């Protein structure tokens, strides 16, 4: 491969692959970034297709993506810090996964990337996970013996005025968006000097020190960065609910687990309806027909009022204007599992009936229907899921099967012990 401005010669390749990572002539890793984005899309599509065709519940889908899809994308992600726009593109990739799970894959304008990622319970954005890997690898090199060639190279690179991976990693640690700069493992001061000396010779000690460093300082600062981004996004005004997103709730961490326990009782379309409405404050048209979420529908199918927003139906003003809006409690995460189930069914019935009347191309809705629990059906579903799961693993090459517990959670079977 002819690097930089070297003239190409016969037999030279434009991109060279080393240890599974594509290297381009300008060492920018942009080719690798392109490849990672394609890989991320296909690995997710494979997983999503498998999950949907076998009836995997949405909360389980959300919990499995970080386990099965993310590791494939983050392989070698330390190097992506050099690729222009890597953080943004990785965040967009992850947001596309989230939107697909929520049921509005192409609605970039209405379905907020930050809110949808957070709603699915994914603690770190993908771009931030890349930064985390970069910083940890930089510090791993610092822990190597002084005469180690990689450490020598790092020292040299840091002394040069030009941009390099080392200077890029250093810049990420001093990112002005962080609450405070991230210190190196030596500057941190929480690990005794003696131990750091031993770490140079002993890989196990090095691994332990790095883990302490990650949990003690790097992860908290990066998590705070993502939390800040989320807090900013959560001031978003929800037009059909007449409030801001952060007025609905602030306890979304336990939320996905609550959904997990009721996901088997209610239809998945209902959950998606309820979820999209929560994030956008708009009518979730993509679940019924082609198109994006809209603020108003032309006409109410029950009372004939024109240009109705969500609160016309959810606030129960339709037909009985005297009743007050219970909107915030409907979408609150502070409710018990039973209340949550009732809310999801209520939203599903109210919105689903309006939207299926409105969209002429829409298919008949099963909104509000409670799926019966059929034990024989459950067993079939688990067998089918396992078969599809094995096929997906065989094709995707990630080598990751669903966690054993996931098969049980799938259909809410406790202590499922089959193999």
Q: Which parts of this chain interact with Zn ion (CB under 5 A)?
A: 300, 302-303, 305, 318
State the minimum distance, in angstroms, from the CB of residue 103 to Zn ion: 24
The CB-of-350 to Zn ion minimum distance in angstroms stands at 10
Report the number of secondary-structure helices (H) and strands (E) in the chain: 19, 6
Nearby residues of 37 by Cβ (< 8 Å), 6 or more positions away: 89, 90, 93
CA distances for 157 relative to 149, 151, 152, 161, angstroms: 12, 10, 9, 8
Which of residues 54 and 311 has its CB atom nearest to Zn ion in the complex?
311
> Measured from the CB atom, is 144 or 300 closer to Zn ion?
300
What is the residue-wise DSSP string for 36-72? HHHHHHHHHHHHHHHHHHTT--HHHHHHHHHHHTHHH
For 16, half-sphere exposure in the C-beta direction (CA atoms, 13 angstrom radius) is: 10
CA pair distance 62, 74, nearest whole angstrom: 18
Q: Name the residue nearer to Zn ion (CB basis): 271 or 358.
A: 358
Give the Å distances, CA to CA, from 280 to 39, 84, 344, 350: 29, 31, 16, 17
Provide the minimum distance between the beta carbon of 305 and Zn ion in the complex, in angstroms, as a whole number. Answer: 5
Using CA atoms in the order 92, 96, 99, 100, what is the torsion angle rounded to 10 degrees?
-170
Long-range residue pairs from 335-344, CB within 8 A, at least 24 positions apart, any chain? 337/258, 337/261, 337/262, 340/258, 340/259, 340/262, 341/262, 341/265, 341/266, 343/274, 344/262, 344/266, 344/270, 344/271, 344/274
Which residue, 39 or 318, has its beta carbon nearer to Zn ion? Answer: 318
Shorter beta-carbon distance to Zn ion: residue 282 or 312: 312
CB of 39 to Zn ion, least distance (A): 48
Least Å distance between CB 277 and Zn ion? 17
- Considering the complex, what minimum distance in angstroms separates the CB of residue 297 from Zn ion? 10
Query: Which residue's CB is nearer to Zn ion, number 124 or number 277?
Result: 277
Q: Please name which of 60, 109, 70 lies closest in space to residue 91, comparing C-alpha atoms.
A: 70
Q: For Zn ion, give the closer residue by CB, 94 or 317.
A: 317
Q: Please, what is the minimum distance in Å from the beta carbon of residue 293 to Zn ion?
A: 20
């Amino acid at each position: 491969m002819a690097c930089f401005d070297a003239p190409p010669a016969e037999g030279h390749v434009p991109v060279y692959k080393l240890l599974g990572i594509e290297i381009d002539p300008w060492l920018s890793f942009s080719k690798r970034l392109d490849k990672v984005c394609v890989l991320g899309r296909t690995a997710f599509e494979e997983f999503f297709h498998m999950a949907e065709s076998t009836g995997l519940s949405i909360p389980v889908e959300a919990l499995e993506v970080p386990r099965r899809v993310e590791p494939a994308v983050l392989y070698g992600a330390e190097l992506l810090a050099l690729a222009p726009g890597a953080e943004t593109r990785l965040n967009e990739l992850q947001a596309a996964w989230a939107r697909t799970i929520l049921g509005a894959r192409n609605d970039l304008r209405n379905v907020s990337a930050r809110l949808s990622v957070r709603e699915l319970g994914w603690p770190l954005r993908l771009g931030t996970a890349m930064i985390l890997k970069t910083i940890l690898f930089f510090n791993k090199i610092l822990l190597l013996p002084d005469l180690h060639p990689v450490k020598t190279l790092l020292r040299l690179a840091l002394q040069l005025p030009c941009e390099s991976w080392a200077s890029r990693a250093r810049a990420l640690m001093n990112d002005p968006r962080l609450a405070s700069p991230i210190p190196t493992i030596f500057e941190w001061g929480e690990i005794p000097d003696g131990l750091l000396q031993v770490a140079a010779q002993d890989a196990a000690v090095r691994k332990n020190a790095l883990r302490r460093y990650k949990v003690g300082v790097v992860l908290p600062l990066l998590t705070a960065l993502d939390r800040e981004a989320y807090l900013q996004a959560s001031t978003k005004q929800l037009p059909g609910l007449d409030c801001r997103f952060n007025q609905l709730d602030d306890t979304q961490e336990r939320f996905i687990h609550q959904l997990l326990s009721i996901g088997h009782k209610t239809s998945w379309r209902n959950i998606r309806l309820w979820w999209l409405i929560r994030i956008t404050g708009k009518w979730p048209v993509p679940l019924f027909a082609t198109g994006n979420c809209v603020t108003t529908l032309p006409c109410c199918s029950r009372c004939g009022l024109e240009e109705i927003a969500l609160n016309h139906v959810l606030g129960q003003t339709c037909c009985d204007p005297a009743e007050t809006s219970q909107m915030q409690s409907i979408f609150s995460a502070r409710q018990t599992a039973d209340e949550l189930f009732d809310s999801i069914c209520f939203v599903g019935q109210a919105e689903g009936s309006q939207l299926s009347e409105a969209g002429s191309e829409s298919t008949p809705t099963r909104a509000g229907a409670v799926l019966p629990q059929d034990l024989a059906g459950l067993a079939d579903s688990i067998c089918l899921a396992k078969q599809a799961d094995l096929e997906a693993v065989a094709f995707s090459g990630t080598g990751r099967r669903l966690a054993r517990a996931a098969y049980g959670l799938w259909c809410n079977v406790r202590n499922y012990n089959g193999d």
